[in-house]
Amino acid sequence: MPNFRYNARAADGTPQRGVASAVDAETLAAELRSRGWLVLGIEPADSAAPDQSRASSGADLRGWLPIRSFDIELGLRQLASMVRSGLTLLAALRTVAEQSRRRASRLWLDIADRIERGSTFSAALAAHPRNFSDYIIQLARVGEDSGELEQMLERGAEHLESNRNLRGIMLNAMVYPVLVTVMAIGVTTFMLLGVIPKIENFLADSGQQLPPLTRTLLDLSTWLRLNLPAVGIALVTLVVALLLISRWPPGRFFLHGVALRIPLVGAILRLAETAVFARGMGILLESGLPLIESLRSVEGLIRNRIISARVSHAREAVTRGETLAAALGAGREFLPMLPRMVAVGESTGMLGHTLGDVADFHENQLVATVRRLGVIIEPLLIIVVGGIVAFVYIAFFVALFSLAGGAN
Tell me: do 114 and 257 sit in the same domain: no
- At 160 the pLDDT is 86
Backbone angles phi, psi at 249, to 5 degrees: -50, -50
Residue 343, pLDDT above cutoff 70: yes
Residue 313, pLDDT above cutoff 90: yes
Q: Assess if residue 291 is contained within a domain.
A: yes
Q: Which residue has the higher pLDDT, 384 or 230?
A: 230
pLDDT tens-digit readout, 92-122: 888 888 888 888 888 999 998 998 888 888 8
Q: Angle of helix 249-261 relative to helix 305-319, nearest 10 degrees?
A: 100
- At 12 the pLDDT is 66
Q: Assess if residue 305 is contained within a domain.
A: yes
3 state DSSP class of 86: coil
- Tell me how far apart the 2 most distant CA atoms of the chain are, in Å: 113
Tell me: do 341 and 401 sit in the same domain: yes
Residue 194, pLDDT above cutoff 80: no
Taking residues 218-231, what's their average pLDDT?
A: 84
Q: Assess if residue 137 is contained within a domain.
A: no
Please answer whether residues 195 and 308 qualify as being in contact, where contact means their C-beta atoms are separated by less than 8 angstroms. Answer: no
Q: Tally the domains of the chain.
A: 3
Residue 322, pLDDT above cutoff 70: yes
Instruction: Note the pTM of the prediction, 2 decimals.
Output: 0.68
Please answer whether residues 287 and 155 qualify as being in contact, where contact means their C-beta atoms are separated by less than 8 angstroms. Answer: yes
Tell me: do 102 and 226 sit in the same domain: no
Amino acid at 306: I
Tell me: do 210 and 79 sit in the same domain: no
Instruction: Spell 112-130 as b/e; 16+ CB within 10 A means b.
Output: bebbbeebbbbbbbbeeee
Q: Assess if residue 50 is contained within a domain.
A: no
pLDDT tens-digit readout, 8-64: 777 666 777 777 777 777 777 777 777 777 777 777 765 444 444 444 444 445 556
Partnered with residue 5 across adjacent β-strands are: 19, 43
Please answer whether residues 405 and 304 qualify as being in contact, where contact means their C-beta atoms are separated by less than 8 angstroms. Answer: no
Q: Assess if residue 147 is contained within a domain.
A: no
Q: Assess if residue 51 is contained within a domain.
A: no
CATH number for position 121: 1.20.81.30
| Pairwise CA distance, residues 67 & 160, whole Å | 14
Partnered with residue 18 across adjacent β-strands are: 6
Q: Which class for 5: exposed (0-12), middle (13-18), buried (19 or more C-beta within 10 A)?
A: middle
**Helical H segments across 117-148, by residue range:** 121-126, 134-146
Q: Assess if residue 138 is contained within a domain.
A: no
Domain around 22: 3-44
